[in-house]
Amino acid sequence: MGSVRHVLIVEDLPDVADWLYSQVSNFLRPEKIDCAFSVAEASGKIGAQKYDLALMDLGLPDGDGVKLIRPFKEMNRFSLCIVTTIFDDAEHLFVSLRAGADGYLLKDETEKEFSNQLSGILDGRPPLSSSIARRLLEQFHPVFGDKEIMLTKREKDMLTLIAKGLSVKNAAEKLGISYYTAAGYMKDVYYKLQVNTRAEATMKAVQLGLVSPS
């Protein structure tokens, strides 16, 4: 990227905003840093001026920061928008990347790791926390090591229905089993697939060929 002149930090917690301000100032040395504490305030700043870089929190008091990513990229086509968040799950990660985020940093990363990732922007390295990079790689491997995922027929049935948008209750009704039995199947599915959310389970179902990517 070469140099960063104008930076926007979107963060609602004053202490964290101050910490991000210090990190940006020390490692990127921009000419100007603006801070916004809400979606509304950030939207106003994005519409009023150009930025070379934005650090975007997701959990803001008046909405989801992911809604700011696309407008920022449209107004600043050759600039970077980096998510800075505590959310390390696949659902937040992939929604952010689909919206156009250029990187994803965890605020609870060690300060050394965070600063290394941030300073790498000047060298053209996309900032991505190491744990997030591992999570990205995991999404493209339907097996863990040399061990293939083995699901029972009922577990596959439950995973297929959940991936298609059904609730556990509705899936249980469709399969003619009790809610508690269905919930037990899903607990086993989550354990075998090593996932924690419906979004992650859906992605694994696509990789296993149980449902269509569409």
pLDDT class of 47 with cuts at 50, 70, 90: very high
pLDDT class of 135 with cuts at 50, 70, 90: low
**Whole-model pTM?**
0.65
pLDDT value at 191 more than 50: yes
User: What HEC string does 131-179 produce?
Assistant: HHHHHHHHCCCCEECCEECCCCHHHHHHHHHHHCCCCHHHHHHHHCCCH
37, two tokens: 């504490």
How many whole angstroms from its chain centre is CA 16?
19
CATH 1.10.10.10 positions along the chain are 143-207
pLDDT value at 143 more than 60: no
**Pairing, β 63-64 against β 80-85:** unpaired
Residue ranges with strand state E in 42-87 = 53-56, 59-60, 63-64, 80-85
pLDDT for 109 equals: 85
Give the integer Cα–Cα distance in Å for 45 and 67. 14
Neighbour-count burial of 142, counting CB atoms closer than 10 A to its CB (0-12 exposed, 13-18 middle, 19+ buried): middle
CATH 3.40.50.2300 positions along the chain are 6-138
Q: Which long-range contacts (CB under 8 A, 24 or more apart) does 95-101 make?
A: 95/66, 96/58, 96/66, 96/69, 99/66, 99/69, 99/70, 100/69, 100/70, 100/72, 100/73, 101/56, 101/69
Pick the CATH number of 143-207 from 1.10.10.10, 1.20.1050.40, 1.10.3720.10, 2.40.50.140: 1.10.10.10
| SS3 state of residue 93 | helix
pLDDT, tens digit, for every residue of 117-129?
Answer: 888 888 777 788 8
Q: In this predicted structure, which of 54-58, 102-106, 120-124, 167-171 has the lowest mean pLDDT?
A: 120-124
pLDDT, tens digit, for every residue of 85-97?
Answer: 988 877 788 889 8
CATH topology of domain 6-138: Rossmann fold (3.40.50)
pLDDT class of 105 with cuts at 50, 70, 90: very high
